[in-house]
Structure 1
């Protein structure tokens, strides 16, 4: 059975922390944050202040659960974003930053395997 993408990302994050790989840490942390943000509850569906529920945990709302395909789509979007930004940095002569973004994209691409 294939390991879920989120689990692969978290395992890679632990490895990157042990190895002190700053490029991988940056890419993996921001991608995991993007996944967490995608799971956040839409604020339009929450009750307003006047309609607020009362009691411990009454206002708790379950987070959305993303399928592995949705998580992979987010990772692919993060890769595309980095590649686009790298091209833009290259265009203005910031080749060091462009190389760093391409390295981050490579880290994420390796996790989709």
Structure 2
């Protein structure tokens, strides 16, 4: 990352965001009920905080694979020569993510 590999940084940021979104607790299942009035609402730091879901290793790998598939599908749809650079970048991002799955210490 010190070489400022923009392709790797872009792929990792998007994948980390997808993982973060998958860990979020759905609004309806948080166990927090809306207060009828402002006076009855929870008060204080962390009053409405809910523990995030923990993803299994299998679920994490599935999300990374979905990110790879999404990039490869988008690259395949960019057939015009004007979009060749973007398609190449998407394929490179997919390769970066595949490297994490297939590299040393991979699942």
TM-score (norm 1): 0.77
For this pair of structures, how many residues does the alignment match? 96
Report what 1:64 is aligned to. Answer: 53
Higher-Rg structure is 2
Report what 1:21 is aligned to. Answer: 5
Gap runs ≥5 in structure 1: 1-15
Give the root-mean-square deviation of aligned CA atoms. 1.5
Report what 1:42 is aligned to. Answer: 26
CA separation in 1, counterparts of 2:68 and 2:46?
Answer: 37
Which structure has more helix as a fraction of its residues?
1
CA separation in 1, counterparts of 2:48 and 2:63?
Answer: 28
CA separation in 1, counterparts of 2:25 and 2:16?
Answer: 16
Gap runs ≥5 in structure 2: 103-107
1:30 aligns with 2:14: yes
| Runs of 4+ more than 3 Å apart | 51-56
